[in-house]
Homo-oligomer: A and B are copies of this chain.
């Protein structure tokens, strides 16, 4: 499972897998940081190309991404949308289903409550993945949390289903 936390300056990601036996395992996490001076189109290309590489390398079963419909303002929503757009495109072109989850659903899946703090989420992420501490930096940790939440909530609707049904159901397997 590939989880992504989109942004044009920093896109965090985490790859989580469940071995045949045993707990979930963090395979890789990190942050894509396109050079700040690059024009927007170049930044998007960097994000897209890195994601293509990640998908080719790890062949995840799906893409998990936070479903943000709240932004500071229309301008920041627009810029965030650009990054999300190329991330969804990379998933689509690789044939991966996309799971969009509202932040509360990620928190509920990982911590058990939808209004958990960022620290609680990171604590549980580290614990569930048996890490000594939460993944760093914070953007990478958010990508990992999305991936883990999606693993823990395997019946989350894909975008296609979510469009036809109420969002945010989490049914633990």
Q: Please count how many residues in chain A sit with their CB below 8 Å of the partner chain's CB atoms.
A: 36
**Least Cβ–Cβ distance between A158 and chain B, in angstroms:** 7
CB of A131 closer than 8 Å to a CB of B: no
Please determine whether B74 and A84 come into contact, CB atoms closer than 8 angstroms: no
Which of A38, A41, A45, A84 has the most B CB atoms < 10 Å from its CB? A41
List the number of copies, as a whole number: 2
- Which single member of B79, B89, B98 contacts A89 (CB below 8 Å)? B89
Which B residues lie within 8 Å of A88 (CB)? 40-41, 44, 82
Binary CB contact string for chain A from 79 to 92 against chain B (1 if under 8 A, 0 otherwise): 11111111011011
- Which single member of B41, B79, B84, B163 contacts A39 (CB below 8 Å)? B163
Q: For the complex, what is the distance from the CA of A86 to the CA of B69, rounded to whole Å?
A: 19
A interface, CB within 8 angstroms of B? 38-42, 44-45, 48, 68-71, 73-86, 88-89, 91-93, 98, 158-160, 163
User: 9 nearest interchain CB pairs?
Assistant: A81-B81, A85-B85, A82-B85, A39-B159, A41-B92, A41-B88, A74-B77, A39-B160, A77-B77
